[in-house]
Amino acid sequence: MEQKVYTLANLDCANCAAKIEAKFNALPEVEAATIVFATRQLRLTAEDPDGLIEKLTQIGRTVERDFEIHTDAHTHHNHHECHCHDHEHDHHHEHDTGWGSLVTILLGAGLFLAGILLQPLTLLASLPCFIAAYLILGWDILKTAAKNLLRGHVFDENFLMSIATIGAFVIQEYPEAVGVMLFYRVGRYFEQRAVERSRSQIMEAVDLRPETVLLSDGTVIPAAAAKAGDLVQVRPGDRIPLDGTVISGESRIDTAPITGESVPVAARQGDAVLSGCMNLSGLLTLRVEKPLSESMVTRILQSVENAAAGKPKIDRFITRFAKYYTPAVVAAAALVAIVPSLITGNWNYWVYTALSFLVMSCPCALVLSVPLAYFSGIGMGSKQGILFKSGLTMEAMANIKAVAMDKTGTLTEGSFTVRQVSGGDDVLSLCASCEQFSTHPIAVSILAAAKERGLSFTKPEQVEELAGQGIRAVFGGKTVLCGNEKLLAAHGISIEAQRAGMTCVYVAESGVLLGQITLGDTIKNDASEAVSQLHRMNIHTAILTGDGEVASQAIGKELGIDSVYARLLPEQKLETLQQLRKTHGSVMFVGDGINDAPVLSGADVGAAMGSGADAAIEAADVVFMTSKTRAIPTALRIAAQTRRIAWQNVIFALAVKLIVMILGVLGYASMGAAVFADSGVAVICILHALAPLYLKKSVKK
Ligand code: ADP
Ligand code: MG
């Protein structure tokens, strides 16, 4: 099985996207197909996706569209452009945003107005105006309706719209018929514009890929053509195009586009810089380390696109609901047309009411507003350095009741400094020799301290890292241990109490304690604020750490953490997490990923602090590119806000439609109101989904 991503170039209708997705999934060759309306992407998992897409020219009848395959060079690999031809189009929407459509609308509106003005004088003069206006405005819709009807699609919105307006003609409501068609076109026009705008707004925020790069010899090449090892020039004010290393120059870099952190960092020769960040002050020459397809800008874009494909449950629910919505409204319309008419004999009135129902029969606003709200939330997260891996986990985050945090790297900086060495330089040197292959923050700081003192290392004959405990190595046949009291206790060496707030690494050789290294770590400056924000959100907080009891309790107390669990091995962290889940409900775990991959994947939501290990970023559901603890409450708030907006949209759209229908039955039927309940509501839902992006302050950092 293979998954490939295709772009459906002119996918403009959310409801059609859902229908096409269902058709794809019904094909026996397809393992899974997901169409994301917001990104226009089709993710196809099948034995041979390319071959399948090729065959779709024949299946075109089933999926209602023709496809043409292009390999898209600019976007990432495994990504193809897949154009749907217009000539066989079944969706008039495709024209709705162009100039042509605006001209049609204006022309139709002019004739409509002429008809209205002439009507009081003579019907003979006004009727041709109405008919001409109707045909100009509705031709595409009528044509599409006819075509779809031949294929047996009775619940097609074009068909229902045609019935509604032709019906209005039949009951001699001429201005009504044309007016509805006109407002429908105008509504659709704005709806499409709003969708377009929202898509580009969000993509602008997340797509930081450069078009071209400036090589140091002055030539400009397409960004995708740059290879690792090329030298590129980045002027002040330019965005760093590709991940690279500074070869010459000095500057300050604004990493906010990637990490959301607003304090610029210095960059000079030898420093690694990430694509997407802004070069603020000096001219830099970079050596490209990663081509465009592997650089951070592409990884972020892909992560957002992937996230949009992980549809939340509410999205799937609405898609399923939409399938029944149209037939239900049509059935209601049929009832309203027939039953009261038989009783009252007032056929014209009740047919009119029924026709207004048909105008509202498209579930577009519903189907559209939920994925757009999630896409907007995902985009907003990415702008603040928070990468949600899927809409589904974002939805789960809105239910979180407890947050369990790793201590090192999450609540503390994770950059230890060696405070004290008892046993002398020999102990430090021996310890550094053991730690030289480890990536643990403790190891990194011990190595730094040893190098600073100019100590030499020896190469162990054997070395083994024990997660959550330390290192066991063999030098000249002697076993050396360096790690916490748990490690030493396991080898029969007991340790007396440690100092508060400090992390100790004990060094023993052949079962004899040689000395200890005391390390201090600083608490992140925003950790305390983050914890109190969580408490204000009524979320239980906990520390799950492998570090010693005393050091961990001290930090827990200082930050006001609800519960502290220390001296945990990676598997024990998972057990503790399960207990927390039993008492509090959904639990999110946040860690740097060193020694906590099992909890990350075992939690309801696993979050990795971006400074952490690659394995963690793989296993996590959310990645914080920033190292700020405040990202935790921010992410939870974005998730909660997104869920709220999605539900508000669903309820609002359904409520307006229901109210307009009820008003119709009560004797206040109006086709104008029905058109508003259709496209007007859709536009409002789109704007509401986008609101957090426009009102940037609505989610505080
Ligand atoms: P945390 O849960 O705080 O991230 P870890 O599970 O990574 O902690 O490690 C727990 C403890 O195990 C550390 O506090 C340290 O005492 C010990 N330890 C782990 N790795 C090492 C190492 N490479 N060298 C020395 N001690 C280590
Ligand atoms: Mg850790």
pLDDT at 614: 67
If one compares 627 and 482, the residue with the highest pLDDT of the two is: 482
The verdict on the CB of residue 438 being under 6 Å from ligand 1 is yes
In this prediction, residue 253 has a pLDDT band, given cuts at 50, 70 and 90, of very high
Q: Tell me what the mean pLDDT of segment 98-116 comes to.
A: 88
Given ligand 1 and candidates 413, 595, 600, which is best to mutate, with the most ligand atoms within 8 Å of its CB?
595
What is the chain's length?
701
Token pair in block for residue 636: 């939870």
The pLDDT of 500-511, averaged and rounded, is 83
Distance 515 CA to ligand 2 centre (A): 24
Shortest-distance Cα residue to atom 14 of ligand 1: 547
Indicate the pLDDT class of residue 604, thresholds 50, 70 and 90.
very high
CA distance 416 to 447: 11
Phi-psi domain of 620 (left: phi exceeds 0; alpha: psi -120 through 50; beta: other):
beta
Q: Percentage of residues in the chain with pLDDT exceeding 90?
A: 35
- 88: pLDDT strictly greater than 50: no
Q: State in Å: Cα 594 to ligand 1 middle.
A: 9
The answer on pLDDT for 71 being more than 80 is: no
**Residues 6+ positions from 633 with CB-CB distance below 8 Å:** 530, 533, 534, 537
Q: CA angle, corner 529, sides to 528 and 535, nearest 5?
A: 90
Confidence at residue 696, expressed as pLDDT on a 0 to 100 scale: 59
* Ligand having the closest approach to the CA of 443: 1
Q: Which of 595-599, 628-632, 670-674 has the highest mean pLDDT?
A: 628-632
Q: How sure is the predictor about 159, in pLDDT bands with cuts at 50, 70 and 90?
A: confident
Pocket test for ligand 1, best of 405, 427, 428, 442 (most atoms within 8 A of CB): 442
Cβ 279 under 6 angstroms from ligand 1: no
Q: Which of 416, 440, 565, 596 has most ligand 1 atoms within 8 Å of its beta carbon, as the pocket-test mutant?
A: 440
> pLDDT value at position 584?
95
The neighbouring-strand residues paired with 4 are 44
Distance CA 223, CA 212 (A): 4
Cα 505 from chain centroid (whole Å)? 41
Instruction: Give the pLDDT of residue 362.
Output: 83
Q: What is the distance, to the nearest Å, from the Cα of residue 438 to the centroid of all Cα atoms in its chain? A: 33
Mention every residue, 6+ apart, whose C-beta is less than 8 A from residue 570.
467, 468, 546, 595, 596, 597, 598, 599
Separation of CA 215 from chain center: 33
Residue 701: is its pLDDT beyond 50? no
Q: Which of 410, 469, 573 most suits a substitution to test ligand 1, by most atoms within 8 Å of the C-beta? A: 469
What is the gyration radius of the CA atoms in the chain, in angstroms?
Answer: 32
| Any atom of ligand 1 within 6 Å of the Cβ of 447 | no
Residues 292 and 298 sit within 8 Å (Cβ to Cβ): yes
Predicted confidence band of residue 66 (pLDDT cuts 50, 70, 90): very low
The pLDDT of residue 641 is 95
Q: How close is the Cα of 596 to the center of ligand 1, in Å?
A: 11
Q: Using CA positions, which residue lies closest to atom 27 of ligand 1?
A: 470
Please work out whether the CB of residue 471 comes within 6 Å of at least one atom of ligand 1. Answer: yes
In the predicted structure, residue 260 carries a pLDDT above the cut 70? yes
Q: Are 396 and 604 in contact (CB under 8 A)?
A: yes
Backbone angles phi, psi at 511, to 5 degrees: 80, 5
Helix/strand/coil percent split, the chain, to 5 = 55, 20, 30
Q: Which is more confident, 231 or 59?
A: 231
Mutate to test the pocket of ligand 1, among 472, 484, 550, 596 (most ligand atoms within 8 A of CB): 484
pLDDT at 649 over 90: yes
CA of 421 from ligand 2 middle (Å) equals: 23
Would the pLDDT of 102 be above 60? yes
Each residue's pLDDT tens digit, 323-339: 899 899 999 999 999 99
pLDDT of residue 1: 79
Residue nearest to atom 9 of ligand 1 (CA): 468
- Confirm if 152 and 134 have CB atoms less than 8 A apart: no
Residue 331 is predicted with a pLDDT of 93
- Please give the distance, rounded to the nearest whole angstrom, from the Cα atom of residue 621 to the centre of ligand 1: 24
pLDDT in tens, 420-447: 888 888 899 999 999 998 888 889 889 9
Ligand 1 atom, smallest distance to 545 CA: 2
Which residue pairs, CB below 8 angstroms and at least 24 apart, start in 645-648? 645/373, 645/376, 645/377, 645/688, 645/689, 645/691, 645/692, 646/312, 646/314, 646/369, 646/370, 646/373, 646/374, 646/689, 647/314, 648/688
pLDDT exceeds 60 at position 96: no
Cα 574 to chain centroid distance, Å, stands at: 27
User: 469 CB less than 6 Å from ligand 1?
Assistant: yes
Q: Answer yes or no: are the C-beta atoms of 15 and 35 closer than 8 Å.
A: no
Helix (H/G/I), strand (E/B), else coil: 607: strand
Task: Indicate whether 131 pLDDT > 50.
Answer: yes
Question: Which comes out higher in pLDDT, residue 604 or 669?
Answer: 604
Q: What is the mean pLDDT of the chain?
A: 85
Residue 305 CB–ligand 1 contact under 6 Å: no
Strand-by-strand arrangement of the 2-8 sheet: 30-36, 41-46, 2-8, 79-84, 67-71
Q: Is the beta carbon of 547 within 6 A of some atom in ligand 1? A: yes
Indicate whether 595 pLDDT > 80: no
Is residue 408 within 6 Å of ligand 1 at its C-beta? yes
Mean pLDDT, residues 210-237: 91
pLDDT for the residue 547: 84
Q: Give the pLDDT score at 57.
A: 54
Least confident of 11-15, 145-149, 277-281: 11-15
- Going from the Cα of 576 to the center of ligand 1, the distance in angstroms, rounded, reads 17
Catalytic residue positions, numbered: 406
pLDDT at 498: 59
What's the mean pLDDT in 508-513? 88
Average pLDDT in the 228-243 region? 92
pLDDT score, position 612: 55
Alpha helices in 345-455 (DSSP H): 347-359, 364-383, 391-397, 425-435, 441-452
Q: How far is the CA of 443 from the centre of ligand 2 (A)?
A: 12
Burial class (CB in 10 A: 0-12, 13-18, 19+), 107: middle
What is the arithmetic mean of pLDDT over 183-209? 85
Task: List pLDDT tens digits, range 546-589.
Answer: 888 888 898 999 999 999 999 888 888 999 999 999 999 999 99
**Backbone angles phi and psi of 2, in degrees to 5:** -140, 140
256 CA from centroid of ligand 2 (Å)? 25
The verdict on the CB of residue 95 being under 6 Å from ligand 1 is no
CA dihedral 44, 49, 50, 55 (to 10 degrees): -100
> 501 pLDDT exceeds 80?
no
Read off the tokens for 147.
Answer: 């075509």
CA of 551 to the centre of ligand 1 (A): 12
Q: What is the pLDDT of residue 180?
A: 87
Which pLDDT score, from 0 to 100, does residue 63 have?
A: 42
Is the predicted pLDDT of residue 399 greater than 90, yes or no?
yes
Q: Does residue 75 carry a pLDDT above 50?
A: no
Beta strands in 27-170 (DSSP E): 30-36, 41-46, 67-71, 79-84
Q: What are phi and psi of 155, to 5 degrees?
A: -95, 20
> Mean pLDDT over residues 103-111, rounded?
91
303 lines ligand 1 (CB under 6 A): no
- Give the tens place of pLDDT for each residue, 283-305: 999 999 999 998 989 988 888 88
Q: Which ligand 1 atom sits nearest the alpha carbon of residue 594?
A: 7
CB of residue 503 inside a 6 A radius of ligand 1: yes
Is the distance from the beta carbon of residue 436 to the nearest atom of ligand 1 less than 6 Å? no
Q: Which residue has the higher pLDDT, 606 or 148?
A: 606
Q: Which helix (H) or strand (E) holds 287?
A: strand 284-288
Determine whether the shortest distance from the Cβ of 406 to ligand 1 is under 6 A: yes
| CA 489 to chain centroid | 46
Ligand that comes closest to the CA of residue 616: 2
**C-alpha neighbours within 13 Å on the C-beta side of residue 307:** 32
pLDDT at 95: 44
